[in-house]
Structure 1
């Protein structure tokens, strides 16, 4: 399946109509999030890099045309105007890893109208999924308060590609590693893993399983201790580690039950066995809320493994994001639908230290000491620089999250810092709205029958 045909059907029908009407003028579309999901004080923007890869190779070929025709149940010749269409526009975007808020453009595309329209669905798909997962992963890092967090989400992610994205996004916001081998190798991030309960059950005893595992893996090992009786599993793990002369770098993993109480008992047993350097890893249905409760309770847990709830952003699995036309042929446009009003014109977001962001028009000068967040990353359909790396995005995230007020960072009942609009943007919005409302009040023109006849293709 081609990425070109990974789109909604109405993108194709609109683009075809634009071509028929000779509507090739530059159009600017703005991608933004209308409202933050419940329980979120911020977003971490992600998805730009795969989106730019998609745009750089975007070209409608013969197979794509045939698939469009098949979907529309029309002859291939009717769809031939789309053949060869490629993305040749400009992209201004907020780099990955930046902390953002509702209403702020994450990306703006300016391209001939048919091109800018056809790419809508794919861009929203990339930004929505990756931003929502990155934002939840970031909250896990905050909740862990400096303790390592590891990604265990692959087995319940919504497909292998989503699992790869989750591993990358976790690393982007500070995760220490992933269980996903493909992600670890392809992205150059640490691989992390232990053993399953099935491994323990396959041996005649826990001790036999632990000894076999340690002999097979000479490096530091992690024993899963809660297959049968957790306290007894810790005692056996301690005995095996002591007998084999293992300790620093090794760990035990708790995967179920009252993790706070079990971690305290396990820590006491390990310490009494002279294994103070053996760490405790906790997993099993954790996300930022569970991690936060354990950290606040001072549970003696050294590493947190998060999986299902983070990989699918279980409590807030989607973004109310939009990709809206804000300018066509030099004319600012807006939408007045109830609860879905958009601001017209090309925009910029300015960040000010200790103050709310300012959403302004693209041509405005920045406020004093303000930093523009959108930058040109593609021109004439080509990247303006080399691909960004997750390490760079991680550094941006660290700087942004450190500057965020505690009220927005907290896990329970966070308070976002909503941006403000510049006076110039407010004035343009009012002017465009007034013009639309004036047109709506005019009597409808009566067209002659000749004007209603179909134009030749």
Structure 2
């Protein structure tokens, strides 16, 4: 989707005030930023990376209109020379990123930006907005899809989303992560997300009787008739009238009732009763859909603890807002600066160990088991390092030299996870279709061990450093402390 709005001013104001200072100092100096996150939402074991297509759209169209410059001039904080510079600015740097749909882990660069300092600074907020939101929703959606164990999950959250973009792009992220489709029609138009939906309680209330409402809908959509059965009484009225419409109209005319939906009450109890009544009526093929404040924990409980007879789930607010864990903590930190032709590593130090950054311009490698094809660990290396798979590979904990793992020679393969997106400001990446991203994500998730995917106390996935990078980090910590 090409955003028709010019979003170039969607940035924190300090990016502009800092850029005025950079302009006065040395606007052409090159810097390197990493975009990464520190903690998985919901205390999970991984995330699903999403939002890259919107990053590409933003960076490709970075420019300031005359009215933008006029507005900035009215603030009386910027020089005319700087405003003139902004009026002609375009992104001219390099961006590398992990492909959308990839399972990712804390502290590894999802996006690496190398550009003149003002350009690198100005894109910060937009990159974080695009990636923080969609990665959060894709990750939550994947957990819900995992809990459903092959039963379809439909994203029903538009009316609970935080705004238009949150609903539209949230539906995109949910589909990448495995949801069967969305109720958000706009996402169908713009992205090709399958759109799904039947009726609301108001539709049934608008008729004299529930039977009349069901019959009218069945005659309008005989090939795709799913009826909402909890407006008055699920068992005493709704399912009875649904079966009656199937017998009175659908079956005599060669159609079958596709499904019934329950939107309130005890889902496990009602689904078992409804399933029994459908089967006794010879409607074993009629599916039962449930909705109403579902998430991965409720779905898991319905399936495993209560034996619910549910074929698919409609999930709204808990998915589209990632209600249990509504913030994705992506950050954008400078890791290197170019001076006199040399790349000088930079580090951010904190008393909170998890906030200490990994310095330097880095590559991200995924180490795969040669025999099983499963991911063993992710390894951060400095850009000039080359991994020789014919040799033992030693990977180190990000803060401790004594914590390490040795991977024997010839038992592993290496994948470079950061791919070029922009080179010298030119887009060099062929954006995949949404279906391609979705299929790729499913394939990549299959390489991650189930122990890492479990909801409670997942196994921690290694994101380690090469010896050379660890030595650099420890030397810099010693120097600045």
Q: What is the SS of the residue equivalent to 2:85?
A: helix
**Mapping for residues 241-252 of structure 1, pairs under 5 Å:** 241-246=246-251, 248=256, 250-252=258-260
The CA distance in 2 between the partners of 1:335 and 1:72, in whole Å, is 32
1:408 counterpart residue number = 452
Q: Which moved more, 1:70-79 or 1:54-63?
A: 70-79
1:443 counterpart residue number = none
The CA distance in 2 between the partners of 1:109 and 1:395, in whole Å, is 27
The CA distance in 2 between the partners of 1:72 and 1:173, in whole Å, is 46
Deviation, 1:73, is 5.6
1:316 counterpart residue number = 325
8 Å Cα contact 1:65/1:76 also seen in 2: no
Asked if 1:381 is matched to 2:394, the reply is: no
Select 2:384's aligned residue among 348, 358, 363: 363
Deviation, 1:399, is 1.9
Q: Which moved more, 1:359-368 or 1:41-50?
A: 359-368
The CA distance in 2 between the partners of 1:397 and 1:278, in whole Å, is 31
1:325 counterpart residue number = 334
1:61 counterpart residue number = 65
Select 1:393's aligned residue among 416, 437, 445: 437
Select 2:275's aligned residue among 243, 267, 270: 267
CA deviations over 1:288-321 (Å, ceiling 9, x no partner): 1111112213311111111111001111111222
Select 1:290's aligned residue among 268, 288, 298: 298
> Relative to structure 1, is the Cα distance of residues 352 and 27 closer, same or farther in structure 2, using a 3 angstrom cutoff?
same
Deviation, 1:389, is 1.8
Q: What is the SS of the residue equivalent to 1:174?
A: coil
8 Å Cα contact 1:5/1:67 also seen in 2: no
Asked if 1:211 is matched to 2:248, the reply is: no
Deviation, 1:249, is 6.1
Q: Which moved more, 1:362-371 or 1:318-327?
A: 362-371
Query: Where does the alignment leave 5 or more consecutive residues of structure 1 unmatched?
Result: 438-457
8 Å Cα contact 1:102/1:418 also seen in 2: no
Asked if 1:346 is matched to 2:346, the reply is: no
CA deviations over 1:391-439 (Å, ceiling 9, x no partner): 22212211222122222212333333131111111012123333434xx
2:396 counterpart residue number = none
Select 1:228's aligned residue among 225, 232, 239: 232
**TM-score scaled to structure 2, two decimals?**
0.87
Asked if 1:30 is matched to 2:34, the reply is: yes
Deviation, 1:155, is 0.9
The CA distance in 1 between the partners of 2:245 and 2:307, in whole Å, is 28
Cα RMSD of the aligned pairs, angstroms, is 1.7
8 Å Cα contact 1:167/1:178 also seen in 2: yes
8 Å Cα contact 1:29/1:110 also seen in 2: yes
1:125 counterpart residue number = 129
Deviation, 1:72, is 5.4
Q: What is the SS of the residue equivalent to 2:363?
A: strand
**Structure showing greater relative contact order (alpha-carbon pairs closer than 8 Å, 6 or more residues apart):** 1
Deviation, 1:194, is 1.2
Asked if 1:141 is matched to 2:145, the reply is: yes
